């Protein structure tokens, strides 16, 4: 890592520290002020121990030596005052310690809430470019590093600051000459700690990155354990893991090596200061220079310990501080990720027709939807009935600007039509459905939905009008009822039952021990692939969308189960505009139009009979003369 990179890391680390501190001060402002005051009182009480030695020795104890009838009243009074100061310090320390635990947990909750809330706004592209394990590491490893820093490091840093200020003032008052030596020693201490701390911080940042890589790799291999065993890939997986783990070992060992050097170095410099102060103070006292008495020497030597003690405390917490700041950088990188842009202003509303046949908006569900289109030019609002007319006009798209996936695609699906896409892997079938959802935005051309450019439609409303059944179903931890209702959160129980019947899922659900209240976990692994797919269809059915996308929904199930699933999908497709992606061509014979794609271009279009007569690519695929890859 060169100097520019080191400077950048230091700048980002400082920025992360300020933002983290802002979380504390903004969220718990009053509590933090109380903590601030308690730390100040605790610091003053601690310094009073050292300062009291001078007055107790010079003003109370030494004058009593040799007296035949000493009067200890004043000494007892001074000790009582000192005891009260100590008691205030103990109460203050107890208060701020307990309060910082509460503040720390509250800040962690706020950070996790902000991360998750922002994550919901990120585009699909972010999740394509980052592994699940790496993202999970932010919520676990990186967030946990903040806990110790907030609970311990922040109050100790404040304590150190107050202690250094109060101690320095006291040292100057006791002996300006000896304070010059202390300043020289502290300058040396700062230079050493800066050098060691810079190296430690650099490797702690690498450690957190390596830890995220290891977490992501383990999570990925856990999910793919069956594939690993089937292909005897265990040894290769071990070797790949060893490389990542070795990188983590290297960065972690170097980070902790430098961090663990901090305590002994600071401690030994502090011991050196103590010895030099004792030698110089003793010499000045014997020579009668500087008015150094026994009480002054006793207090000043105690102050040398107090002066280096804050540095020792920070050194002991240095590991947690740097790890927390490295974790905070990664957390703030996620929070600073640019959210998914949505400049749409056309919304989806419930609608009905009045006695004149005009579309009017209404609050109650009528089964009719309309696009509410405000016109900024004259302030008027128009309504367009949602019918499911989808058209691509000369669409060009690439996930990266230098690699185009779709080339000048033009196609249309009229309301109620079933449009199928056929082609080899990488031809652009799934990409088309991703564009309809606006998971990605096109570089050229237009996509119109009921005559409206989809860039004008708010994304939430656009996606609310679409139902999707994917090849890979995903079920959440919860009951079957809750998983089906995921398609429409305010669906009644009756609507859920009807959706399950429509999807042909009702029969197998009722055979389960708890029926619709059966708990699912682990992505519904207790169910068969076909049963999971039926639940996915029921989820789309309860949403009752006018447009449906089926992305190879039956490709991973057997032929017998496929016939059951196909019945459910046939029921779901009635009266809807449907886009189908299928490897099994038998499932798309009844499509109104079949689009044959090849390398991002439409090479054939027509219904099954027309394409068979054409005897082109589709004919070869259907007759088995050409296979999909």
**How far apart, in Å, are the Cα atoms of 303 and each of 37, 46, 122, 182?**
22, 11, 54, 10
- Using a pLDDT cut of 70, give the percent of the chain over it: 85
Nearest-10 crossing angle of helices 318-335, 294-316: 40
How many angstroms separate the CA atoms of 518 and 402, rounded? 49
| Closest among 158, 122, 219 to 25, alpha carbons compared | 158
DSSP state of 522: G
**How far apart, in Å, are the Cα atoms of 577 and each of 60, 390, 533?**
97, 8, 20
Residue range 239-291, pLDDT digits in tens: 888 888 888 888 888 877 777 777 677 777 777 777 777 777 777 776 767 66
How many angstroms separate the CA atoms of 537 and 486, rounded? 12
| Residues 462, 437 contacting (CB under 8 angstroms) | yes
How many angstroms separate the CA atoms of 299 and 171, rounded? 9
Residue range 474-524, pLDDT digits in tens: 888 889 999 899 888 888 899 999 888 888 888 889 998 889 999 988 777
Question: Residue 401: is it exposed, middle or buried by C-beta count within 10 angstroms (0-12/13-18/19+)?
Answer: exposed
How many angstroms separate the CA atoms of 460 and 59, rounded? 78
The sign of the CA dihedral 299, 302, 308, 313 is negative
How many angstroms separate the CA atoms of 306 and 168, rounded? 10
> Which residues touch 244 (CB under 8 Å, ≥6 apart)?
210, 213, 214, 217
Tokens representing residue 46 in the block = 């601690």
How many angstroms separate the CA atoms of 219 and 213, rounded? 10
Question: Residue 231: is it exposed, middle or buried by C-beta count within 10 angstroms (0-12/13-18/19+)?
Answer: exposed
Selected residue with higher pLDDT from 306 and 18 = 18
| Residues 206, 258 contacting (CB under 8 angstroms) | no
Selected residue with higher pLDDT from 582 and 580 = 580
| Residues 534, 567 contacting (CB under 8 angstroms) | no
How many angstroms separate the CA atoms of 498 and 352, rounded? 24
Selected residue with higher pLDDT from 550 and 298 = 550
Of 176-190, 280-294, 440-454, highest mean pLDDT: 440-454
- Whether residue 448 is predicted with pLDDT greater than 90 in this model: the reply is yes
- Whether residue 557 is predicted with pLDDT greater than 70 in this model: the reply is no
Give residue 7's pLDDT.
Answer: 45
Question: Residue 99: is it exposed, middle or buried by C-beta count within 10 angstroms (0-12/13-18/19+)?
Answer: middle
What number is the average pLDDT over the span 345-362?
A: 88
What number is the average pLDDT over the span 588-608?
A: 88
- Compute the radius of gyration of the chain from its Cα atoms: 36
Note the pTM of the prediction, 2 decimals: 0.68
**How far apart, in Å, are the Cα atoms of 12 and each of 8, 9, 52, 566?**
6, 5, 44, 55
| Closest among 428, 386, 387 to 411, alpha carbons compared | 428
- The pairing of strands 359-361 and 347-353 is antiparallel
The sign of the CA dihedral 608, 609, 612, 613 is negative
Give residue 345's pLDDT.
Answer: 92
Give residue 554's pLDDT.
Answer: 61
| Closest among 224, 200, 426 to 317, alpha carbons compared | 200
Give residue 9's pLDDT.
Answer: 46
How many angstroms separate the CA atoms of 441 and 462, rounded? 13
Block residue for tokens 């090596």:
257
Q: Compute the half-sphere exposure of residue 4: CA atoms within 13 Å on the CB side of its CA.
A: 0
Give residue 59's pLDDT.
Answer: 63
Selected residue with higher pLDDT from 158 and 627 = 158
**How far apart, in Å, are the Cα atoms of 610 and each of 586, 589, 593, 626?**
15, 11, 10, 18
> Which residues touch 38 (CB under 8 Å, ≥6 apart)?
92, 93, 95, 96, 99
Residue range 20-78, pLDDT digits in tens: 888 888 888 888 889 888 888 888 887 776 666 666 666 666 666 666 676 677 777 77
Q: Where are the alpha helices (DSSP H) in 56-153?
A: 62-64, 73-119, 124-129, 132-137, 143-148
Average of per-residue pLDDT values in the chain: 81
* Opening angle at CA 259, ends 188 and 181, nearest 5: 15
- Whether residue 569 is predicted with pLDDT greater than 80 in this model: the reply is no
């Amino acid at each position: 890592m060169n100097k520019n990179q080191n400077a950048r890391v230091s700048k980002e680390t400082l920025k992360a520290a300020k933002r983290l501190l802002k979380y504390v001060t903004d969220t718990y402002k009053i509590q933090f002020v109380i903590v601030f005051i308690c730390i100040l009182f605790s610091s003053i009480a601690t310094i009073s121990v050292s300062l009291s030695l001078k007055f107790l020795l010079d003003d109370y104890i030494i004058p009593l030596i040799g007296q035949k009838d000493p009067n200890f009243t004043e000494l007892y009074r001074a000790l009582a005052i000192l005891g009260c100061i100590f008691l205030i310090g103990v109460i203050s320390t107890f208060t701020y310690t307990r309060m910082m635990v509460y503040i720390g947990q509250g800040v962690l909750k706020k950070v996790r809430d902000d991360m998750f809330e922002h994550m919901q706004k990120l585009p699909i592209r972010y999740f394509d470019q980052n592994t699940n394990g790496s993202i999970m590491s932010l919520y676990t490893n990186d967030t946990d590093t903040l806990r110790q820093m907030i609970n311990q490091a922040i109050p100790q840093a404040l304590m150190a600051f107050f202690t250094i200020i109060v101690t320095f003032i006291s040292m100057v008052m006791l002996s300006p000459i000896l304070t010059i030596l202390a300043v020289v020693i502290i300058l040396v201490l700062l230079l050493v700690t800066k050098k060691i701390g810079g190296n430690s911080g650099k490797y702690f940042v690498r450690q957190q990155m390596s830890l995220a890589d290891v977490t992501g790799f383990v999570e990925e291999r856990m999910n793919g354990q069956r594939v690993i065993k089937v292909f005897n890939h265990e040894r290769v997986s071990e070797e790949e893991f060893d490389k990542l783990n070795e990188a983590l070992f290297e960065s972690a060992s170097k980070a902790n090596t430098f961090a663990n050097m901090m305590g002994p170095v600071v401690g030994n410099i502090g011991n050196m200061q103590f010895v030099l102060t004792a030698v110089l103070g003793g010499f000045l006292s014997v020579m009668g220079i500087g008015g150094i008495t026994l009480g002054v020497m006793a207090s000043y030597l105690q102050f040398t310990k107090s002066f280096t003690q804050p540095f020792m405390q920070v050194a002991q917490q240095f590991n947690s501080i740097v790890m927390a700041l490295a974790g905070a950088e990664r957390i703030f990188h996620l929070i600073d990720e640019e959210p998914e842009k949505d400049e749409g202003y056309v919304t989806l509303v419930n609608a009905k027709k009045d006695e004149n046949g005009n579309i009017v908006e209404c609050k109650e569900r009528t089964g009719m939807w309309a696009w509410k289109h405000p016109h900024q030019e004259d302030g008027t609002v128009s309504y367009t009935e949602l019918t499911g007319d989808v058209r691509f006009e000369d669409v060009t798209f690439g996930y990266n600007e230098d690699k185009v996936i779709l080339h000048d695609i033009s196609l249309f699906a009229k309301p109620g039509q079933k449009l199928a896409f056929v082609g080899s892997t990488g031809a652009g079938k799934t990409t088309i459905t991703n564009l309809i959802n606006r998971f990605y935005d096109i570089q050229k051309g237009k996509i119109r939905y009921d005559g409206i450019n989809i860039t004008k439609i708010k994304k939430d409303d656009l996606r609310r009008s679409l139902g999707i059944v994917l090849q890979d179903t995903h079920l959440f931890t919860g009951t079957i009822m809750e998983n089906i209702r995921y398609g429409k959160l305010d669906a009644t129980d009756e609507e859920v039952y009807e959706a399950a019947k429509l999807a042909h899922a009702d029969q197998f659900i009722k055979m389960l021990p708890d029926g619709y209240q059966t708990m699912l976990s682990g992505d519904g692994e207790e169910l068969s692939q076909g049963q999971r797919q039926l639940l996915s269809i029921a989820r789309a059915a309860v949403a009752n969308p006018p447009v449906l996308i089926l992305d190879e929904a039956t490709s991973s199930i057997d032929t017998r189960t496929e016939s059951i699933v196909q019945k459910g999908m046939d029921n779901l497709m009635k009266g809807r505009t449907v886009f189908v992606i299928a490897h099994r061509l038998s499932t798309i014979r009844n499509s109104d139009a079949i689009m044959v794609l090849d390398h991002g271009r439409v090479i054939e279009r027509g219904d099954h009979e027309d394409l068979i007569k054409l005897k082109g690519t589709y004919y070869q695929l259907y007759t088995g003369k050409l296979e999909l890859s």
